[in-house]
Structure 1
Amino acid sequence: MAEHARPKDRSIQTLRGVAVLLMVAGHVIGSSGGRGMNVADDSIWRWFYVALEDIRMPLFTVISGHVYAMRPIRSFADYPSLARGKARRLLIPLVTVGLLLFVLQISVPGTNSRPELNELAWFFVFPFHYGHLWFLQSMFLIFLTVAALDACGVTRTRAGWAIATVSALVVFVAVRVPSSADVFSVNGYFRLLPFFLIGYGLHRYGVEKGRRVAVGVTLLAFLAVYSARTIGTVNEWNLAPRVDRVLELAVGVTGVVSIYSARRLVDWAPLAWVGGFSFGIYLLHVFGSAASRIFARAMGIDADVALFVIGMVAGVGLPIMFQLIFGRWNLVWVGILGEKRRRSDRAASVHV
């Protein structure tokens, strides 16, 4: 999602469409009873949220790894340019969209969370202050890490890539920092780095090509670990944190690899079109979904199905409309979407 490119493979854009719809659906429902639609923890809506929790952002990250692998840097001479490009693409939207979100949360009645004004000093340091935007920080750290591995030559060979990926998988299970030390979403970095490297390897080394048996085994493994994860959630298994992370990781890896390998089966032009706006939808969907929920409830609409449909339509549709209407202006193109400045404000494609 965070990588700016227009891959020739339309199925990758379709995957982006799938991933962004799953992400918006999760945020419309809400991560807890006090967020989103305010559904009860024992409702089918909560189950739907939890059922896809291990797949949503890992799928986005695998796609970003795939796209980066199309044009990886070759040496440290390329590193400053990459760092500047990713700072523009990820950190500028972090600041601008983050500030907009902060202002709206403290000024608009009916929002699910209302930060204190003095929290602004920590707004861009700790991820729990700005909801979904933690992903931008984590991805910035991931790009810097993988680019450094490329510059050093570590990931230029299949063996080096495999060692780096296995190391990231181990860190995923073994390392978490307390929330008080989760500066710049380092926990998100630990969680998503292996998925970026997996996406990198899937493209660069074609590890899924010509291995139908391996793909089938991966799908069966996903069904097995996903079933175990679901049973454990329903029965409230009290697993040790690292055991729980092993299950989470197994579901995420087998799930996203299965989806990636089957991407040509869901290659659909409308989904690919939505996928072309995925970064803007990711950044701005909360404004549309939250505003539509507040308005719907003010109109007396309380049915969960209606709130979900309205939230999805607004969360996906309004950011697309925003990009189509205002994306031609550099103020929006650069300042909100993090794109490279154009020489003029002429109309242009806003796909990401």
Structure 2
Amino acid sequence: MVGFCDVVRVDTTSSRTPYVPRQRKRPKDLSVEAVRGLAALLMVAGHVIGNTSDRGMGVADDSVWRLFYLGLEDIRMPLFTVISGYVYAMRPVERRDDFPQLVRGKARRLLLPLLTVGALLFAMKLLIPAANTRPELGDFWKTYAYGYEHLWFLEAIFLVFLAVALLGIAGALSTLSKWCATTGAAFVLYALVSVPEAANVFSINGAIRLLPFFLLGYGMYRFELFQLNRWGLIGAAALFLSIYTLKLASLIGDWEPNEVVRRIVSVAVGVSGIVLIFAARRAFTWKWLAAIGPFAFGIYLLHVFGSAATRIALEKAGIGWLPAVFAVGLAVGVGAPIVFQLLFGRWNIVRTFVLGEKPIPRTTRREAASGTDEEPTAR
């Protein structure tokens, strides 16, 4: 969600170079970038299809498209969250004095885009007649009080960062045994606890769902977990497929589990699938997929504008063939945010209020323009 929500990137401020998202000074692990690119593709693909028959492409609930959407719902956003936890573990908060800095940094990184992109998304749905859903103007406050569209993730992951930082300060993640106990408790919490919808303020339910996956990513990096050999990968694949049959049985079969069992199966699918993806990530470390990774946060924030505009344009043109609508929507949903970041990502107002990154200091900009600092970094 290198994680797309917790990315610290090298920021080249020379006026002769295009904008690229900030990268850590440490050598990039292209395999993790590829996983992040895969997560971005899966997320956009899901939103292009839509979660119900009146959203996205408007496909029927009994279609193959709906099965594809539901079949990956336990992996899409949990995968982003695992990556965020993986990166957070590189520089975790373990001292009380560091907590205020984390709060300020995550407020800028997550809450400023929530304010800006949330307002833009609400305005788009309010003003464009062809949008899937049209909100009431009086409901604008709910954009920030509750999870709104895909932006629920910003609220939920913000709460997760705070919770994990507090756990780190308390020493609950300092050893493998403590991490196991804490992560196990988080999975139990997700399986058993659900806040009523009216009380789901600031996407608390989303935070409960994401917390164990964030801790999973944390443990993967901190304790070097799930470094599997060939036989380990085969075993992981077999475990995932066996668990996934239960998921398929609930989607296309006669099995109707109760809510607790459904959540347990959901967690098992997510954990086994993500562990398999991470363990086998070097097998699909393609350059084009790794190149998408650094732009994943911008893709997450802005993809709906490109994919919605594409769907409306295709409808106006009389193009309703679903494979074409899906392919073009996916391409524009991924490509348009990348182009936007390349063109406007060096403007401080865009960097800060849309992408949540630190602004380029004026002195640094003057030095870059005069050629006295070829490639400074902003932290």
| Structure 2 length-normalised TM | 0.89
Distance, in Å, in 2 between the alignment partners of 1:30 and 1:36 is 4
Q: Is the 8 A contact 1:208 1:215 kept in 2?
A: no
Within a 5 Å distance, the mapping from 1:233-244 to structure 2 comes to 233-244=251-262
* Distance verdict in 2 for CA 1:65–1:163, change over 3 Å: same
Task: Report the Cα offset of residue 218 of structure 1.
Answer: 2.8
The residue aligned with 1:306 is 324
Within a 5 Å distance, the mapping from 1:41-120 to structure 2 comes to 41-120=61-140
Say if 2:175 is the partner of 1:172: no
Distance, in Å, in 2 between the alignment partners of 1:274 and 1:54 is 22
Distance, in Å, in 2 between the alignment partners of 1:168 and 1:135 is 18
The residue aligned with 1:191 is 209
Q: Deviations over 1:169-190 (max 9, x none)?
A: 1001000011111111011111
Distance, in Å, in 2 between the alignment partners of 1:250 and 1:148 is 26
Distance, in Å, in 2 between the alignment partners of 1:152 and 1:201 is 16
Distance, in Å, in 2 between the alignment partners of 1:248 and 1:269 is 31
Which structure's CA Rg is the greater one?
Answer: 2
Alignment-mate amino acid for residue 333 of structure 1: R
Which of 298, 304, 310 does residue 280 from structure 1 map onto? Answer: 298
Task: Report the Cα offset of residue 151 of structure 1.
Answer: 1.3
Tell me the SS of whatever aligns to 1:123: helix
Say if 2:231 is the partner of 1:218: no
Q: Which stretches of structure 1, 4 residues or more, deviate above 6 A after TM superposition? A: 346-349
Say if 2:35 is the partner of 1:32: no
| Percent identity between the two aligned chains | 50
Which of 347, 354, 359 does residue 336 from structure 1 map onto? Answer: 354
Task: Report the Cα offset of residue 226 of structure 1.
Answer: 0.4
Alignment-mate amino acid for residue 296 of structure 2: S
Q: Deviations over 1:309-342 (max 9, x none)?
A: 1111110111000000000100000010000111
Distance, in Å, in 1 between the alignment partners of 2:202 and 2:33 is 28
Q: Is the 8 A contact 1:29 1:45 kept in 2?
A: yes
Tell me the SS of whatever aligns to 2:140: helix
Gaps of 5+ in 2: 9-22, 370-374
Say if 2:5 is the partner of 1:2: yes
Alignment-mate amino acid for residue 54 of structure 1: D
Say if 2:163 is the partner of 1:160: no
Q: Is the 8 A contact 2:67 2:251 kept in 1?
A: no
Task: Report the Cα offset of residue 119 of structure 1.
Answer: 0.1
The residue aligned with 1:182 is 200
Alignment-mate amino acid for residue 24 of structure 1: V
The residue aligned with 2:17 is none
Distance, in Å, in 1 between the alignment partners of 2:83 and 2:228 is 20
Distance, in Å, in 2 between the alignment partners of 1:214 and 1:25 is 30
Distance, in Å, in 2 between the alignment partners of 1:211 and 1:48 is 30
Say if 2:220 is the partner of 1:202: yes
Task: Report the Cα offset of residue 209 of structure 1.
Answer: 2.5
- How many correspondences in the alignment? 347
Distance, in Å, in 2 between the alignment partners of 1:158 and 1:251 is 23
Which of 9, 22, 28 does residue 42 from structure 2 map onto? Answer: 22
The residue aligned with 2:20 is none
Backbone CA RMSD of aligned residues: 1.6
Say if 2:275 is the partner of 1:257: yes
Within a 5 Å distance, the mapping from 1:307-322 to structure 2 comes to 307-322=325-340
Alignment-mate amino acid for residue 147 of structure 1: A
Distance, in Å, in 2 between the alignment partners of 1:19 and 1:45 is 18
Q: Is the 8 A contact 2:351 2:359 kept in 1?
A: yes
Q: Is the 8 A contact 1:51 1:230 kept in 2?
A: yes
Deviates more, 1:185-194 or 1:215-224: 215-224
| Structure 1 length-normalised TM | 0.95
Alignment-mate amino acid for residue 70 of structure 2: V
* Distance verdict in 2 for CA 1:214–1:165, change over 3 Å: farther
Alignment-mate amino acid for residue 187 of structure 1: N
Q: Deviations over 1:83-127 (max 9, x none)?
A: 110010000000100000001100011000111000012220111
Tell me the SS of whatever aligns to 1:209: coil
Distance, in Å, in 2 between the alignment partners of 1:214 and 1:82 is 37
Gaps of 5+ in 1: none
Task: Report the Cα offset of residue 221 of structure 1.
Answer: 1.4
Alignment-mate amino acid for residue 267 of structure 2: L
Distance, in Å, in 1 between the alignment partners of 2:250 and 2:54 is 23
